[in-house]
């Protein structure tokens, strides 16, 4: 991957906790095999099978019935989003549980799944030592490489097959959250993976749709270094057919590292992702400018508003049909009751005539 981030000045005295600034938001590109550092020896075209989470998630999912979201609470909306996403990936040809949609259900993955990634994170303590000697550039490069390793591992999982890649795109716009952690140093009380004495030994990742991100995580945007006027660039302003948004947590204290990953046309698994002409064109297109991203965000938001209005019209039409059927049923019941009453009166009249 190529990370476009300007390193801090060598004499800046940056540390693991403060080497960020305004350059935490960057663009990186997945290169063809052998061209990127994260695709070196030890990396595989096919990632290892994720840990079994069948105990917390059932394979497949029942169809989701249309509901009026305006009447749902935040928690109910979150559950609906998760259920909808599970339904989309429920027919994965390899494993319907390959992706998680909440942090709680995401399985921990040991760094040992990729020897190159494991070696890289094992060098963390020595890198921090160099950074403490005013060599901030080394720390900057190490953090960038760390992101590349994790991003590449996740992307390889998404590109397991054309169907899986298509299912992922069908989830819609959203962010991939990655949480780093360590199982060491518990006896010292240093549970934070950003502490220099801790060795990062595992990670977990999950997907959250843009609607859920905007609904629940706006208070985290400052830690992601996202200004209010830049939110749309990371939610509706990225190219859905060619870019992925990553949020890496646990690397730097109090800061979440944002990254926009673009799949290159010459990436060795590009054919798996770009299985349609539309996606192929998105991958081959140049990276949008900031102005173009703003325009793309407005277009996406207008399309979303149009779809919402269509759904509301459909709900209103359905409500009218239900009401009309209710009126018809009421009239039918009334006619039946009146008919029964008339029949009873006629029978009574016949009885009187016989007398």
Going residue by residue through the chain, which has 355 residues, state the pLDDT in tens, using 9 for 90 and above.
434 333 333 333 333 333 333 334 445 555 433 333 334 333 334 444 444 433 334 444 556 666 777 788 999 999 999 999 999 999 888 888 899 999 999 999 999 999 999 999 988 877 776 666 666 788 888 889 999 999 999 999 999 999 999 999 999 999 999 999 986 544 444 455 556 557 889 999 999 999 999 999 999 999 999 999 899 999 999 999 999 999 999 887 788 999 999 998 888 788 899 888 999 999 998 888 888 888 878 887 787 777 766 766 776 777 777 777 776 677 677 777 776 776 676 666 666 666 6
Model-wide pTM > 0.95: no
In the sheet with 202-209, reading across from the earlier edge strand, the strands are 26-30, 255-263, 243-252, 174-181, 202-209, 109-110
Cβ distance 80 to 72 under 8 Å?
yes
Taking the chain, what is the end-to-end CA distance rounded to the nearest angstrom?
103
Cβ distance 246 to 147 under 8 Å?
yes
Cα dist. 63→55, 75, 88, 89, 148 in Å? 21, 20, 9, 12, 37
Which residues, 6 or more positions from 233, have their beta carbon under 8 angstroms from its beta carbon?
Answer: 290, 293, 294, 297
- Tokens 């992925």 identify what position? 244
């Amino acid at each position: 991957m190529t990370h476009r981030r300007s390193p801090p000045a060598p004499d800046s005295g940056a540390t693991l906790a403060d080497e960020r600034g305004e350059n935490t938001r960057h663009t990186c590109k997945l290169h063809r095999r052998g061209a990127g550092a994260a695709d070196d020896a030890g990396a595989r075209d096919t990632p290892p099978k994720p840990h079994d989470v069948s105990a917390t998630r059932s394979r497949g999912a029942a169809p989701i019935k249309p509901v009026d979201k305006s009447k749902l609470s935040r928690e109910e909306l979150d559950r609906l989003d998760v259920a909808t996403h599970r339904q989309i990936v429920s027919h994965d040809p390899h494993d319907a549980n390959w992706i998680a949609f909440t942090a709680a259900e995401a399985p921990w993955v040991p760094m040992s799944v990729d020897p190159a990634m494991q070696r890289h994170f094992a060098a963390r303590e020595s890198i921090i030592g160099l950074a403490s000697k005013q060599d901030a550039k080394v720390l900057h490069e190490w953090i960038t490489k760390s992101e590349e390793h994790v991003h590449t591992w996740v992307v390889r999982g998404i590109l397991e097959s054309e169907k899986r890649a298509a299912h992922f795109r069908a989830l819609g716009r959203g962010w991939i959250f990655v949480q780093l952690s360590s199982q060491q140093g518990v006896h010292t009380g240093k549970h934070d993976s950003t502490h220099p004495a801790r060795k990062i030994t595992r990670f977990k990742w999950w997907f959250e749709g843009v609607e859920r991100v905007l609904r629940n995580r706006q208070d985290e945007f400052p830690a992601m270094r996202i200004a209010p006027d830049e939110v749309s660039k990371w939610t509706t302003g990225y190219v859905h057919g060619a870019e992925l948004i990553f949020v890496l947590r646990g690397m730097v204290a109090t800061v979440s590292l944002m990254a926009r990953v673009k799949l290159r046309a010459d990436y060795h698994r590009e054919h798996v992702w770009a299985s349609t002409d539309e996606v192929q064109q998105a991958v081959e297109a140049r990276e949008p400018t900031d102005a173009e991203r703003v325009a793309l965000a407005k277009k996406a938001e207008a399309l979303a508003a149009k779809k919402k209005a269509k759904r509301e019209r459909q709900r209103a039409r359905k409500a009218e049909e239900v009401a009309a059927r209710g009126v018809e049923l009421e009239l039918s019941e009334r006619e039946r009751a009146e008919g029964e009453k008339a029949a009873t009166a006629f029978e009574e009249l016949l009885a009187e005539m016989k007398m």
